[in-house]
């Protein structure tokens, strides 16, 4: 049932007031906990001197974030700046060769970072999938792609292949897994697109240009081969009106987000506190709920910053990369829960949509989600935590369809039809609030730990019942209502835009 009626201004104001007040109250609890625990023995490893002039130490529990913006900041900036510079020169002098420049520069950067033997290893995987693509058998291409991916995720092959990397440095393991995993997904996309379009006769050179595009090489996002090839093959690309302004705005937002996260880490130790369960168990219920929510928000911000930086460079190269992840605050359905739209697009195109069709039938949807999360499990690296995360999110995605089918059942459908649009919206928001916390709890398993997730679940559902449970659900309900209103406004604006285009 589509709900298009706007909420009264007073109701929206109440929801905003409740949500902001709850976030402020939870934030105060987290701030006090961070202050009180800064000198605890368990915090010494991950809370270290930061900005001394504000008298605060910094949470450095996420070593990747710290590495990217301290010791590796200059190297990343230099590599991407060099890419932008050479891309601009090539576009001005010989635009027909710009795709070759991307590949050559990317390959040289990989050699300089990881060594020539690592480059040869990846070339071996590229050639293998290219040869299989010549047979035009999609099942064979996907099978070899998954086998290649498994070789980078399972021992003893992963240990053997990691020996191809020369030298040692702190971020080496991250770059090894990132470059290898994304290479396999890109090569598989190339092979499957070759099977889908046998008349286009893609070459090995096309695959190498696609794979060694440096901004996407180590950290993604994934652009499917058909999109990348079509965009990079334009001899005289033309920017849309206002695009340069949007690129500058995206770059500025990325810088602001980086500074904001650094400030946040000085005042809220959201990554360190969950590692000390004894201390976390003493937090008030509101602060514990805020801590769980903050962990997911931080992971979203981290992904948004990473993809925002590389997407800015890609847009300077006249590409249209996948959008950054949708803010976790705006998520209340499992079907939109993903922190990497590139991986999500890849999975949907080659697995989920291919198996599930219209996603309207229970059994095909179950098969499609199981297949999708099986591939996702392999991508993340099989282990007990990933198995649990995959099972929970697979269940959540299917449960949404089951509830939808139940809501379409005759008696329930007639009951909803008898409700006003406002009341129907409120009922759906209640289910959305419960779903939102299911998303948080299911993803905390992989983002933090099972023990911390268990602590949060017990406090919010058992020992805190009914006061804490109902309070948290009411605050979340207010947030879902605001999100729904925002979605309604955007939908109306899009309809008006389309009507205007048609009239012109």
Q: What is the pLDDT of residues 78-96, one digit of tens each?
A: 888 889 888 888 878 887 8
Give the per-residue pLDDT at 504.
64
pLDDT at 3 (0 to 100):
43
**Per-residue pLDDT, 44:** 81
Q: Tell me the average pLDDT of the chain.
A: 88
Residue 193: strand, helix, or coil: helix
Domain that includes residue 94, residue range:
73-232
CA distances to 145, 191, 204, 233, 345 from 194, in Å = 14, 5, 11, 16, 18
CB–CB of 334/317 below 8 Å? no
Which residues make beta-bridge pairs with 48?
58
Judgement on whether residues 282 and 172 belong to the same structural domain of the protein: no
> How sure is the predictor about 468, in pLDDT bands with cuts at 50, 70 and 90?
very high
The answer to whether residues 376 and 347 touch, using CB atoms and an 8 Å cutoff, is yes
Mean pLDDT for 320-340 is 79
pLDDT of 411 above 90: no
Integer angstrom CA distances of residue 475 from 25, 297, 355, 441, 456: 12, 16, 38, 16, 17
Same domain, 307 and 451: yes
Same domain, 176 and 99: yes
Residue 123, class by beta-carbon neighbours within 10 Å (0-12 exposed, 13-18 middle, 19+ buried)? middle
**Residue that the structure tokens 């069709």 belong to:** 357
Per-residue model confidence (pLDDT) at position 135:
92
In a domain, 403, yes or no: no
Three-state secondary structure call for residue 181? helix
pLDDT value for 367: 93
| pLDDT at residue number 239 | 79
Q: What is the phi/psi pair of residue 58, to 5°?
A: -120, 140
Q: What pLDDT was estimated at residue 490? A: 81
Lowest mean pLDDT among 3-12, 123-132, 191-200: 3-12
pLDDT at 1: 39
Q: Does residue 266 share a domain with residue 188? A: no
What are the two backbone dihedrals, phi and then psi, of residue 57, each rounded to the nearest 5 degrees? -85, 170
Residues 6+ apart with CB under 8 A from 501: none
% of the chain with per-residue pLDDT over 90: 41
Residue 293 has a pLDDT of 93
The answer to whether residues 198 and 204 touch, using CB atoms and an 8 Å cutoff, is: no
How far apart CA 245 and CA 253 sit, in angstroms, is 12
**In a domain? residue 381:** no
pLDDT of residue 2: 42
Q: With respect to residue 491, please indicate whether it lies within any of the assigned structural domains.
A: yes
310 with 428, same domain: the answer is yes
For the ranges 48-62, 184-198, 342-356, the maximum mean pLDDT occurs at 184-198
Predicted pLDDT at 7: 74
Q: In the listed set 181, 199, 232, which residue is the last one of a domain according to the structure?
A: 232
CA distance 29 to 375: 40
Residues 303-315: what's their mean pLDDT?
89
499 and 434 within one domain: yes
What is the structure's pLDDT at 243? 85
- The per-residue pLDDT for 384 is 92
In terms of domains, do 218 and 90 share one? yes
**Of 232, 265, 281, which residue is a domain's last?**
232
Q: Are residues 305 and 452 in the same domain?
A: yes
Question: Quick one: average pLDDT of 438-448?
Answer: 91
Supply the pLDDT for residue 53. Answer: 67
In a domain, 472, yes or no: yes
CB-based contacts of 394: which residues, under 8 Å, 6+ apart?
Answer: 369, 370, 372, 373
Clarify whether residues 148 and 255 are in a common domain.
no
Residue 478: per-residue pLDDT: 92
Query: Domains in the chain: how many in total?
Result: 2
The mean pLDDT of 230-248, rounded to a whole number, is 83
Lowest mean pLDDT among 290-294, 336-340, 403-407: 336-340
pLDDT value at residue 4: 52
Write the pLDDT tens digit of every residue in 339-390.
788 898 999 999 998 888 877 788 989 999 999 999 999 999 999 999 999 9
Q: Percent of the chain beyond pLDDT 70? A: 98
C-alpha–C-alpha distance, residues 386 and 375, integer Å = 11
Highest average pLDDT, of 40-44, 258-262, 492-496, comes from 258-262
Asked if 369 contacts 397 with a C-beta cutoff of 8 angstroms, the reply is: yes
319 and 171 within one domain? no
Residue 406 inside a domain? The answer is no
Closest Cα partner for 144 from 198, 178, 190? Answer: 190
429-440 average pLDDT score? 91
Whole-number Cα distances in Å, 12 to 17, 474, 481, 491? 9, 14, 8, 18
Is residue 387 situated within a structural domain?
A: no
> Residue 5's pLDDT is what?
58
User: Do 200 and 105 sit in the same domain of this protein?
Assistant: yes
Q: Are 152 and 116 in contact (CB under 8 A)?
A: no
At residue 358, φ and ψ (nearest 5 deg) are: -85, -5
Query: Is residue 103 domain-shared with residue 222, that is, in the same domain?
Result: yes
Question: pLDDT per residue over 142-176, tens digit each?
Answer: 999 999 999 999 888 888 998 888 777 777 888 89
Q: Is residue 382 situated within a structural domain? A: no
Based on C-alpha coordinates, what's the Rg of the chain?
A: 24
d(CA 144, CA 188): 8
- What is the per-residue DSSP string for 52-112? GGGT-EEE---HHHHHHTTTTHHHHHHHHHHHHHHHHHHHHH-GGGHHHHHHHHHHHHHHH
Answer with the one of 232, 262, 286 that is the final residue of a domain.
232
Q: C-alpha distances in angstroms, 56 versus 41, 219, 274, 287? A: 17, 31, 19, 20
Find the helix or strand (DSSP H, E) in which 49 lies. strand 47-49
Query: What one-character-per-residue DSSP string does 309-352 give?
Result: HHHHHHHHTT--PPPPPPPGGG--SGGG--S-HHHHHHHIIIII
Question: Model confidence at 25, in pLDDT bands (50, 70, 90)?
Answer: very high
Does residue 363 sit within a domain?
Answer: no
């Amino acid at each position: 049932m589509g709900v298009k009626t706007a909420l009264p201004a007073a109701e929206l104001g109440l929801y905003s007031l409740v949500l902001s007040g709850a976030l402020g109250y939870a934030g105060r609890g987290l701030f006090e906990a961070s202050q009180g625990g800064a000198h605890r023995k368990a915090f010494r490893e991950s809370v270290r001197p930061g900005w001394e002039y504000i008298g605060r130490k910094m949470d450095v529990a996420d070593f990747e974030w710290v590495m990217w913006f301290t010791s590796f900041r200059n190297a990343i900036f230099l590599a991407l700046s060099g890419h932008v510079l050479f891309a601009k020169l090539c576009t001005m002098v010989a635009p027909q060769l710009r795709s070759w420049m991307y590949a050559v520069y990317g390959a040289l950067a990989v050699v300089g970072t990881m060594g020539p033997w690592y480059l040869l290893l990846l070339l071996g995987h590229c050639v293998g999938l290219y040869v299989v693509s010549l047979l035009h058998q999609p099942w064979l291409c996907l099978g070899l792609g998954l086998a290649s991916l498994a070789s980078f995720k399972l021992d003893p092959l992963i240990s053997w292949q990691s020996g191809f990397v020369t030298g040692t440095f702190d971020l080496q393991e991250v770059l090894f897994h990132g470059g290898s995993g994304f290479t396999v997904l890109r090569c598989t996309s190339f092979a499957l697109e070759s099977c889908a379009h046998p008349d286009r006769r893609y070459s090995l050179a096309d695959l190498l240009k696609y794979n060694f595009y440096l901004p996407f090489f180590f950290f993604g996002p994934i652009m499917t081969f058909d999109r990348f090839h079509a965009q990079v093959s334009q001899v005289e690309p033309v920017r849309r009106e206002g695009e340069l302004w949007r690129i500058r705005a995206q770059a500025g937002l990325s810088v602001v987000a980086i500074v904001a996260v650094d400030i946040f880490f000085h005042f809220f130790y959201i990554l360190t506190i969950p590692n000390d369960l004894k201390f976390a168990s003493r937090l008030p219920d509101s602060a514990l709920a805020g801590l769980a929510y903050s962990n997911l928000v931080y992971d979203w911000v981290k992904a948004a910053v990473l993809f925002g930086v590389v997407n800015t460079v890609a847009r300077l190269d006249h590409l249209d990369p996948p959008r950054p992840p949708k803010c976790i605050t705006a998520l209340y359905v499992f079907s939109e829960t993903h922190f990497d739209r590139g991986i999500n697009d890849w999975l949907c195109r080659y697995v989920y949509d291919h198996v599930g069709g219209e996603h309207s039938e229970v059994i095909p949807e179950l098969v499609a989600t199981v297949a999708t999360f099986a591939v996702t499990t392999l991508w993340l690296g099989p282990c007990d935590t990933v198995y649990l995360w995959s099972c929970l999110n697979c269940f959540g995605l299917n449960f949404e369809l089951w509830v939808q089918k139940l809501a379409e059942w005759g008696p329930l459908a007639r009951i909803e039809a008898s409700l006003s649009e406002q009341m129907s919206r409120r009922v759906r928001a209640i289910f959305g609030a419960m779903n939102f916390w299911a998303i948080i709890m299911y993803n905390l398993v992989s983002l933090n730990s099972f023990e911390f997730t268990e602590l949060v679940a017990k406090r919010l559902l058992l020992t805190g019942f009914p006061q804490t449970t109902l309070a948290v659900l009411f605050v979340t309900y207010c947030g879902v209502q605001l999100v729904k209103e925002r979605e309604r406004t955007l939908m109306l604006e899009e309809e008006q835009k389309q009507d205007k285009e048609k009239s012109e």
